[in-house]
Structure 1
Amino acid sequence: MIQNIPLEKVLFLDIETVPDHSNWEDVSESEQNLWDKKTKNQRKDDFTAEEYYLERGGIMAEFGRIICISIGMLDKNDTLKIKSFSGDDELKLLLEFGEIFNSPKLRDVILCAHNGKEFDFPWIARRCLINGIQPPVPFQMFGKKPWEIPHLDTMELWKFGDYKSFVSLELLAHIFGIPTPKDDINGSQVAYIYHIEKDLPRIVKYCEKDVLTLANVFRKMRQEGLLKRAE
């Protein structure tokens, strides 16, 4: 039962990703061809490779990059302490993020994200390898039995075995009565805000809000009260 999980060991996590390039013309010819091949069945005749890149380039770790990782953990005052790693230098971002797992406190940490098993966790691991570094230990899964992998996923918890189901974090927050800011940007706007508006701080703020919402969805699943963000 999730009520038995020590909440102080759970690290709530959210990432924001974007296409590696802001314009299709900046993508190398070889990479354009690889993108065309990889997405052909998904696009069918509805989108050109270029249109689909601008729309979905930030969804696939082979063609995008991480610009923000926000994490949250319970602190001694029973509030959520949130920290973000962000920037244009993805390698630096990942190295700084990875350093936190050297702390004895995080030696047996449990990762939690919404759709984390399909997106956040593999994205981080893949981008680490692409950048020439090893993923932090909690993201390494090879040779582990399913019950030995310290990953929680609020989407999976909500499915209760119904694997055709998809639910957004926003919807879970709504049905659990969790207040969320009304000024949030939409996830589909992140690439535009990053590449065109050059407003990374706005994206970081959005990512941190999602971490607080994620933590409170998990709390509601445990029939517990809401957390506030630590000052």
Structure 2
Amino acid sequence: MLHKISLENILFLDIETVPQHKEYHELDDDKKMLWEQKTQYQRKDEFTAGEFYDRAGIWAEFGIIICISVGYFTFKGNKRNFRVTSFHGEERQILTDFKSLLETHYQEPYKLLCGHNAKEFDFPFIARRMIINGIKLPSKLNLFGKKPWEIPHLDTMDLWKFGDYKHYTSLKLLTNILNIPSPKDDIDGSMVKHVFYIENDIDRIITYCEKDVIAVAQIFLRLRGNALLDEQEILHV
């Protein structure tokens, strides 16, 4: 069925997140208590709440979005391009600009969002941060009352499962076994907090995020049996 979906109707995306604060001690007492309770199961007796704070970026209640990168296909005759761009800066502005993109160009029901492990992470994280920031959810992220077949989301990890719901495959592993150039050639997710707060190098994070978007699009092409993108077809705008 994938070949029936027009590539021009898919917005590929990836997000990068970090803890809301640079250091654990910057949390107020209530947040410290709530963080300790939230992570008790994950930490067990191996880490204190403070030692575990570097991982706060994976929870929308304690993390913020610092970059959303998107990519989309365009076709002119036989010429195929994949255009990639990013939203970064203050979180509320990132979310507002991303919402505007969705409502301007991806409002129609047949247009879809696609990421890797995005149903478990990117889509709900963006939705939760929008609500926290007082932003009304766009229809593409407002899933309340929708039936499973009405949800306009694709997930390359979900597609790779082929119904095996216990199976997890990382983006790095999937690109490796499908002979797709790896996006993890500079930093990985565990380094984003350091690069953001210590190195103050958002451009490096944007590059990393955009490479992930390209990798997701490449995986989707491979799952459809299409030719992979070459460098000349990828445009950063």
Pairwise CA distance, 1:39: 0.9
Whole-angstrom CA distance in 2 between matches of 1:68 and 1:39: 24
- Structure-1 residue corresponding to 2:63: 64
- Structure-2 residue corresponding to 1:121: 123
Pairwise CA distance, 1:183: 3.4
Whole-angstrom CA distance in 2 between matches of 1:106 and 1:10: 12
> What does 1:160-199 correspond to in 2, within 5 Å?
160-180=162-182, 183-199=185-201
Query: What is the letter of the counterpart of residue 183 of structure 1?
Result: D
- Structure-1 residue corresponding to 2:46: 46
Query: Aligned to 1:210, which of 209, 212, 223?
Result: 212
Q: Which consecutive residues of structure 1, in runs of 5 or more, have no partner in the other structure?
A: none
Query: What is the letter of the counterpart of residue 12 of structure 1?
Result: F
Whole-angstrom CA distance in 2 between matches of 1:42 and 1:3: 40
Pairwise CA distance, 1:32: 0.4
When normalised by structure 2's length, the TM-score is 0.93
Query: What is the letter of the counterpart of residue 69 of structure 2?
Result: S
Conserved 8 A contact 1:9-1:106 = no
Conserved 8 A contact 1:124-1:135 = no
Whole-angstrom CA distance in 2 between matches of 1:183 and 1:45: 33
- Structure-2 residue corresponding to 1:21: 21
Pairwise CA distance, 1:2: 1.4
Could you say if the C-alpha distance between residues 182 and 114 of structure 1 is closer, same or farther in structure 2, counting changes exceeding 3 Å? closer
Conserved 8 A contact 1:101-1:107 = no
Deviates more, 1:106-115 or 1:188-197: 106-115
- Structure-2 residue corresponding to 1:140: 142
- Structure-2 residue corresponding to 1:229: 234
Identity of aligned residues (%): 52
Could you say if the C-alpha distance between residues 98 and 26 of structure 1 is closer, same or farther in structure 2, counting changes exceeding 3 Å? same
Pairwise CA distance, 1:230: 2.2
- Structure-2 residue corresponding to 1:92: 93
- Structure-1 residue corresponding to 2:7: 7
Q: Secondary structure at the match of 1:137?
A: coil
Query: What is the letter of the counterpart of residue 58 of structure 2?
Result: I
Deviation string, structure 1 residues 166-208 (Cα, Å, up to 9, x no partner): 1111111111111235632111100110011110110001000
Whole-angstrom CA distance in 2 between matches of 1:220 and 1:202: 27
Dislocated runs of 4+, deviation >4 Å = none
Whole-angstrom CA distance in 2 between matches of 1:107 and 1:85: 22
Conserved 8 A contact 1:13-1:69 = yes
- Structure-2 residue corresponding to 1:35: 35
Query: What is the letter of the counterpart of residue 24 of structure 2?
Result: W
| RMSD of aligned Cα (Å) | 1.3
Whole-angstrom CA distance in 1 between matches of 2:106 and 2:37: 44
Whole-angstrom CA distance in 1 between matches of 2:122 and 2:58: 10
Pairwise CA distance, 1:104: 4.8
